[in-house]
Amino acid sequence: MSGVQSSSVPPGAQEYGGDEISALVLDPGYSSVRAGFAGEDVPKSVVPSHYGTIGPLDSPEVKYIFGDNSIHTPLPNLHIHNPMSKDGTVEDWDTATKLWEYAITSRLTNFKASNPAMNGLNDPPENGGNVEADIEASGEGEKPLEDNPLLMTETGWNSGKSRERSIEVAMENWGCPAFWLARNGVCVAFAGGKASALVVDVGVMRSPLAGNFISQQLRILFSTSNPQIPLIPHYLVASKTPVDAGAPAVATYRQFDTSIHDSFRRLEEERVLQEFKESVVQVWQGPGRLNSGQQGTTNEEVVKSWPGRPFEMPDGWNQVFGGERFRVSEGMWDAKMALTDPENPAPPQSQTIPALIQASLAAVDVDIRPHLLANVVITGGTSLLYGFTDRLNSELTQMFPGPRVRLSAPGNTAERRFASWIGGSILGSLGAFHQMWVSKKEYEEHGAGIVEKRCK
């Protein structure tokens, strides 16, 4: 999209119905906040939703730390929080507003080329708090988004109250000339080039299965395996020496004068698990489930005979993972196969991915079910697990042998992760969309309730 625009010739009307008005698209989620200009193909600013605070939360001298560069530094008294709840709705509006503002202004609008010391990019990692000052500096006098209409995405189950809150933030705090709230499911469908589609979003949010489910399964796997697999995040390791597979790690650990808060350690552990998910975890690609199979052997046994995948922990401990790497993802498809411990019971069978798809199809009119099955759009970072789409395809064709099942899963990881932002970007740059915006004038006339009336 931006590539097309770089030419001096504007695109012909028939080939591209776009008209860019430098609108901004903001797509907040549990794991990250995506922000960028409408009409571009990837978000320019992707900021983790986790943020750090230093100092007591209620006092005015509390220091907020945003951004990938800053929050991973082990600082004393650093607490890690997330303003979003796990189902993708905002819990802490005040900080969420600050976080989003950071995501937009750090990279998109208030980029001050004249003062590189102040733009947040060249901050030394030790004191990531400078950004705060930056925001405050641009704070009162002028509002950060006065020139840019803002398109925000929301989950389909967002409450009316928080929808009104979001237009208030956009209009009052940021001074947007126009605003729109789009459902991220719809945006994903648009990103896939479909007007209506069955969206399978396996991110971090909402379902007990999505996202963190795999992390949780991994934690259970590590703690139950014999001997236990140590989960040491990077920041604790000062140096390491290579050891044989399965042998205990030989490493020197870093000592901190002040205690590091558990929330920080949790965040760092998640990063290690993330790496593990990306490099080791695999989904049994079908046909059938992991514990079923032909000729007396289960697929699980078949999988065990396949070559394993090695993984080295930050402290040097390493192991080759065989069948386990399939096992941790199987709970998404078959609740009985989920690893459990007392704190984490197995998810209900009705919450597995096939059951969820079946339920959502049963909820719509029978006439469009074949159409939806022919347009299944897959998104979310967890869907990038190796073998995921194959498995989903085999499960769907098994469930619905009659109609044609067609999955649309972009191979590009960015497109898979940021599909809802991309859909918003497409929507916000369409010429025909500009009649839809809720303008500041309308907001002033009708109040925040207008978002309920207009954006539905």
Is residue 432 at the binding interface for other proteins, with CB under 8 A as the rule?
Answer: yes
End-to-end CA distance of the chain: 27
User: SS3 breakdown of the chain: % helix, strand, coil, rounded to 5?
Assistant: 40, 15, 45
Range in contact with other proteins (rule: CB under 8 A) among 46-54, 122-130, 288-296, 395-403 = 395-403
Residues 121-150 that bind other proteins (CB under 8 A): 147, 149
Q: How far is CA 288 from CA 208, 281, 299, in A?
A: 23, 19, 8
In angstroms, give the least distance from the CB of 435 to other proteins.
4
Pick between residue 4 and residue 236 the one whose CB is nearest to other proteins: 4
- Cα distance between residue 232 and residue 275, in whole Å: 13
Is residue 108 at the binding interface for other proteins, with CB under 8 A as the rule?
Answer: no
Range in contact with other proteins (rule: CB under 8 A) among 5-13, 103-111, 198-206, 277-285 = 5-13
Between 173 and 212, how does the x/- string for binding to other proteins read (CB under 8 A)? ----xx----------------------------------
- Cα distance between residue 269 and residue 264, in whole Å: 9
Range in contact with other proteins (rule: CB under 8 A) among 237-245, 250-258, 278-286, 425-433 = 425-433
Is residue 434 at the binding interface for other proteins, with CB under 8 A as the rule?
Answer: yes
Is residue 7 at the binding interface for other proteins, with CB under 8 A as the rule?
Answer: no
In angstroms, give the least distance from the CB of 39 to other proteins.
10
In angstroms, give the least distance from the CB of 368 to other proteins.
6
CB 176 within 8 A of CB 440: yes
Interface with other proteins (CB under 8 A), residue from 77, 162, 279, 439: 439
Pick between residue 68 and residue 444 the one whose CB is nearest to other proteins: 444
Secondary structure (DSSP) of 299-323: HHHHHHTS--EEEE-TTS-EEEE-T
Range in contact with other proteins (rule: CB under 8 A) among 6-14, 127-135, 222-230, 385-393 = 6-14
Q: Are strands 376-379 and 407-408 parallel, antiparallel or unpaired?
A: parallel
In angstroms, give the least distance from the CB of 28 to other proteins.
24
Between 10 and 49, how does the x/- string for binding to other proteins read (CB under 8 A)? x-xx---x-xxxx---------------------------
In angstroms, give the least distance from the CB of 373 to other proteins.
9
Pick between residue 321 and residue 437 the one whose CB is nearest to other proteins: 437
- Cα distance between residue 189 and residue 379, in whole Å: 10
Half-sphere exposure for 359 (CA within 13 Å, toward CB) = 9
Is residue 437 at the binding interface for other proteins, with CB under 8 A as the rule?
Answer: yes
CB 103 within 8 A of CB 45: yes
Is residue 431 at the binding interface for other proteins, with CB under 8 A as the rule?
Answer: yes
CB 385 within 8 A of CB 281: yes
- Cα distance between residue 189 and residue 197, in whole Å: 6
Four-CA torsion 77, 270, 44, 146, nearest 10 degrees: -50
In angstroms, give the least distance from the CB of 172 to other proteins.
18
Is residue 442 at the binding interface for other proteins, with CB under 8 A as the rule?
Answer: yes
Cβ neighbours of residue 384 closer than 8 Å, sequence gap 6 or more: 278, 413, 416, 417
Region of 311 (left: φ > 0; alpha: ψ -120 to 50; beta: rest) is beta
Q: State the number of binding residues for other proteins (CB under 8 A).
A: 36
Is residue 238 at the binding interface for other proteins, with CB under 8 A as the rule?
Answer: no
CB 207 within 8 A of CB 348: no
For tokens 């080329």, the residue is: 113
Is residue 428 at the binding interface for other proteins, with CB under 8 A as the rule?
Answer: no
Neighbours of 173 (CB within 10 A): 16
CB 198 within 8 A of CB 361: yes
Which residues share a beta bridge with 320? 310
Pick between residue 249 and residue 438 the one whose CB is nearest to other proteins: 438
In angstroms, give the least distance from the CB of 296 to other proteins.
22
Is residue 113 at the binding interface for other proteins, with CB under 8 A as the rule?
Answer: no
Residues 304-323 that bind other proteins (CB under 8 A): none
Q: How far is CA 324 from CA 51, 142, 224, 446, in A?
A: 33, 55, 12, 57
Is residue 6 at the binding interface for other proteins, with CB under 8 A as the rule?
Answer: no
Is residue 369 at the binding interface for other proteins, with CB under 8 A as the rule?
Answer: yes
CB 147 within 8 A of CB 177: yes
- Cα distance between residue 321 and residue 139, in whole Å: 51
Is residue 366 at the binding interface for other proteins, with CB under 8 A as the rule?
Answer: yes
Interface with other proteins (CB under 8 A), residue from 74, 129, 403, 410: 403
In angstroms, give the least distance from the CB of 365 to other proteins.
5
Which residues share a beta bridge with 237? 253
> Where along the sequence are the contacts to other proteins (CB under 8 A)?
8, 10, 12-13, 17, 19-22, 147, 149, 177-178, 364-370, 398, 400-403, 430-432, 434-435, 437, 439-442, 456
